[in-house]
Chains A and B, each alone.
Chain A
Amino acid sequence: MANGITVQAPAPPAARRMTMQKLMRRRSTTALALALPLILLISGLVIYPAFFAMYLSMLDRKMETFTGMRNILFLMHFDTFWMVVKQSCIFALSAVFFKALIGFVTSHLVHNLPPKGQRKWRGMLLVPWVIPTAMSTIAWFWLFDPAYSAINWILAKFGIGPVPWLGVTSWARFSVILVNVWYGAPFFLIMYLAALKSVPDQLYEAAAIDGANWWQKVWYVTLPMMRNIIAITMLFSLIVTFANFDIVRILTAGGPVDSTHVFATWAFSLGIQGNNIPMGASVSLFMLPILGVAAFFILRDINRRGSSV
């Protein structure tokens, strides 16, 4: 052309159709199309709220002025915050440990039941996990009720108690952990049961021929075969337990004297009830680095084992 610019002629319709067809035939395009609903869902319900929470945490109480890291720095110097960090760790780690332990033991018990009765037991043991947490926790609250506790009523028949389930720090912590374990152990049970069923019988037979006893079979066959599922389940549970809100909120509301507050309940108390949403957002964001570190180590361990297999 006179001005030296070459203008490309538009591709004829047939050529455009070919390009589209090629694009659609590519596996990555199909994968993206299939994953798109999930990507949109996670973007809308997880990523956007997370970034919005970060933005909120950097505002002042009235959500008008940008204050940078002020809220985070303030929390670092607040005694109650460190108490909440400690309690969240105690709550999450001990609950996950007992859920894993109970899940492991019960999954073995159920696995060894005759197939006929196994379905009934599986169904019954899943009940705590199926009931909405708020409902089951209210039932637990009634069992622990300061004045009308059914558990204390039974204990009284044996001359024990009354136990201040929710009125003394140690008992209150025990109670919230107990309810969390009761609710979450079936998840471990079902995951471990699935893992157990995928362990080839030949491995146990070979171990039996080598003279391995029950404990050695568990230690040298079952556990190595279940390691990845145990790690993934524990990571998943750790995230959910750390972020727990409903059980603590309903049972103790963080009391007595803040001794059962976890991140979510304290964030709610400061942010929603105390009308300081940026401060509440800052508290809840502290879960992110703690869980990030845990996720990093657990997933790294799984990857290493995966590549060494």
Chain B
Amino acid sequence: MTSSKSFTRRRFLATTAAASAVTLSPPFIRTSRAAGKISVAFWDHWVPGANKAMEAVCHEWAAKNKVDISIDFITSQGAKLELTIAAEKLAKSGHDLVQPSAWSPAAYAEDFEPVDDIMAAAIKANGPTYPIVDYLAKIKGHWVAAPAVTGSQLKPPCARISLLKKFADLDVTKMYAGPGGHSDKALQDAWTWDKYLDVAIKCAKGGVPFGLGLSGTTDYVDWAGALFHAYGAELVNAKGDVTVNSDNTKQVLEWAQRLVPALPKDVIAWDDASNNKAFISGQASLIMNPPSAWAVAKRDNPAVASDTWIFATPKGPKGRYAPALPFFWAVWKFSPNKSAAKSLLAHLLSRQSAERFVAASVGYDIPGFKNLRDFKTWSEVDPPKGVVYNYPPTPDQIVTVAGSPAPVHVANQIYTQGLMTKMIAKCTFEKESIKDTIAWAEKQLAAYTMM
């Protein structure tokens, strides 16, 4: 007798999900030691309710494996997460599993337990990682941390549909269509940083400028990083040579000199909340942000939320770079219960867990694996329908982190010192010449490479 059942897409997903869960489960032996206690610290999610999904996933794993688990959620406000990790490193005591931000895995590579076995299984199940994940967490050929789903984010354009249409005659829903729609390829090809500048100027003339900050906080460093990458302006190359003095850098700064007059006058003093406030209050027509601004607008200003569309970053001469800021999960070497921590880590990396995290964060979280881009959340979230459909990176986008490809410790300083936004501020707000700005940056970068 032959089966006449068709193998549907839904059934395929269910089967692969189950298979990946089996593959990812490491040989966790429930010895008296391993089944004891485990203490974990996760990033305190911006999106209300997202922590609950994490708690649920962890408690389910703990119940199944008969492990006592205690979970802390630590905010990244005021660098509290970095402070906690630094303190635990020095004390060689604390949580078993932590969630370091982008730059910490490399900094604490000697202190984190290698997780090559877990990553090999995760890659097998979930597809390859984005190259920046390797850049940040695969140190000397070994994975010292795994890409966290929760908190990992992109910062693409988050714009007002009606305002861009009205002032710049740009239909972003046509350029990057929602679920079931057909995106206009010609419009996408024309979506360059020059077009972006043109739209920014037109919207500013219409009284609703782009909300692009130029201080040193993450939102602004991220978009500036994508801009520099798109023009091929590397500040320091992978070998550690200072390469900021290039025509590409000059091009970026010239571009910025044309953009800044179209921005609000105070963007140099903005913090990470300023762009969100400008957008939610209806004063800005576009910001570069994850969907958190939209999520808050949905609660506080529904009219703005239902007029919001998130879509790909413009492309430059060197490609279309998507600014990202990933988080990681890592197990301390000093953990007294490493086998349990690694077992939990594998569970967190499974497709089912990732899908629950993405759903709970209403699409905010971007998993670091290429095959985890097809969750229904990104299609279903509304209003408007499809608002975050184009948020996960499409294959033509290069997911990047500001400061790369410099050696990670140098890129860490470039990023945290906000060097790129400072360069733009210097040659615009501070009226320095591009030549002097680059000379100043060269000195800073030379110092970073020696640190």
Q: Chain A interface (Cβ within 8 Å of chain B)?
A: 61-64, 74, 78-80, 146-148, 162, 164-168, 172, 249, 252-258, 268-270, 272-277, 279
Contact = CB atoms under 8 A, between A and B. Distances in A.
A255 B267 CA distance: 12
A147 B264 contact: yes
Contacts of A63: 90
Contact of A276 (B265, B266, B413): B413
B82 A272 contact: yes
A77 to B, nearest CB: 8
B303 interface: no
Contact of B417 (A162, A167, A269): A269
Interface in B236-278: 264-271, 274, 277-278
Contacts of A274: 103, 412-413, 416-417, 451
A269 B409 CA distance: 14
Contacts of A272: 79, 82-83, 86
A269 B443 contact: no
B217 A275 contact: no
Among A168, A172, A257, the one with the most B-chain Cβ atoms within 10 Å of its Cβ is: A257
30 contacts: A61-B107, A61-B451, A62-B110, A78-B447, A79-B443, A80-B447, A147-B264, A147-B277, A147-B278, A148-B277, A162-B265, A164-B265, A168-B429, A252-B269, A253-B215, A253-B217, A253-B271, A255-B216, A256-B268, A258-B422, A269-B417, A270-B413, A270-B451, A273-B82, A274-B416, A275-B104, A275-B409, A276-B409, A276-B412, A279-B451
A293 B274 CA distance: 42
Interface of B: 78-79, 82-83, 86, 90, 103-104, 106-108, 110, 215-217, 264-271, 274, 277-278, 283, 409, 412-413, 416-417, 422, 425-426, 429-430, 443-444, 447, 450-451
A274 B264 CA distance: 29
A26 to B, nearest CB: 40
- The main secondary structure of chain B at its interface with chain A is helix
Contacts of B416: 269, 273-274
Given A62-B110, A275-B409, A276-B409, A147 B215 contact: no
B85 to A, nearest CB: 9
Contacts of B110: 62, 64
A61 B413 CA distance: 12
Contact of A256 (B104, B283, B425, B447): B425
Contact of A146 (B107, B274, B422, B451): B274
Contacts of A253: 215-217, 271
Contact of B268 (A61, A255, A276): A255
A165 B215 CA distance: 14
B450 A273 contact: no
Contacts of A275: 82, 86, 103-104, 106-108, 409, 412
Nearest to B82: A272
Contacts of B278: 147
Contacts of B447: 74, 78, 80
A148 to B, nearest CB: 7
Contacts of A276: 107, 409, 412-413, 451
Contacts of B90: 63, 277
Given A147-B274, A275-B409, A276-B451, 7 more contacts: A74-B450, A167-B429, A168-B429, A270-B451, A275-B108, A276-B409, A276-B413
B104 A146 contact: no
Going nearest first, the 9 A-B pairs with the smallest beta carbon separation are A146-B266, A275-B107, A167-B269, A166-B269, A273-B416, A146-B269, A274-B416, A256-B268, A167-B268
Contacts of A74: 447, 450-451
A146 B215 CA distance: 12
A148 B268 CA distance: 15
A244 to B, nearest CB: 15
Contacts of A249: 78
A60 B444 CA distance: 19
A277 B266 CA distance: 32
B444 to A, nearest CB: 7
Contacts of B268: 167, 255-257
A258 B217 CA distance: 13
A109 B134 CA distance: 66
A167 B266 contact: yes
Nearest to B448: A274
Contacts of A256: 215, 268-269, 425, 429
Contacts of A79: 443
A276 B417 CA distance: 12
Nearest to B105: A275
B412 A257 contact: no
A136 to B, nearest CB: 16
A64 B111 CA distance: 11
B79 A167 contact: no
A168 B265 CA distance: 11
Nearest to B430: A257
Contacts of B274: 146-147
Nearest to A167: B269
A274 B270 CA distance: 21
A193 to B, nearest CB: 35
A247 to B, nearest CB: 14
Nearest to A52: B90
A275 B106 CA distance: 9
Contacts of B217: 253
Nearest to B283: A147
Among A62, A165, A270, A274, the one with the most B-chain Cβ atoms within 10 Å of its Cβ is: A274
A80 B82 CA distance: 23
Given A80-B444, A147-B266, A276-B409, A257 B425 contact: yes
Given A255-B215, A269-B417, A272-B82, A61 B444 contact: no
A147 B9 CA distance: 49
Among B86, B108, B451, the one with the most A-chain Cβ atoms within 10 Å of its Cβ is: B451
A268 to B, nearest CB: 7
Contacts of B104: 275
Contacts of B265: 162, 164, 167
Among A61, A146, A252, the one with the most B-chain Cβ atoms within 10 Å of its Cβ is: A146
Nearest to A148: B277
Nearest to A152: B266
Nearest to B277: A147
B266 A164 contact: yes
Contacts of A277: 86, 90
B381 to A, nearest CB: 28
A272 to B, nearest CB: 5
A217 to B, nearest CB: 46
A276 B106 CA distance: 12
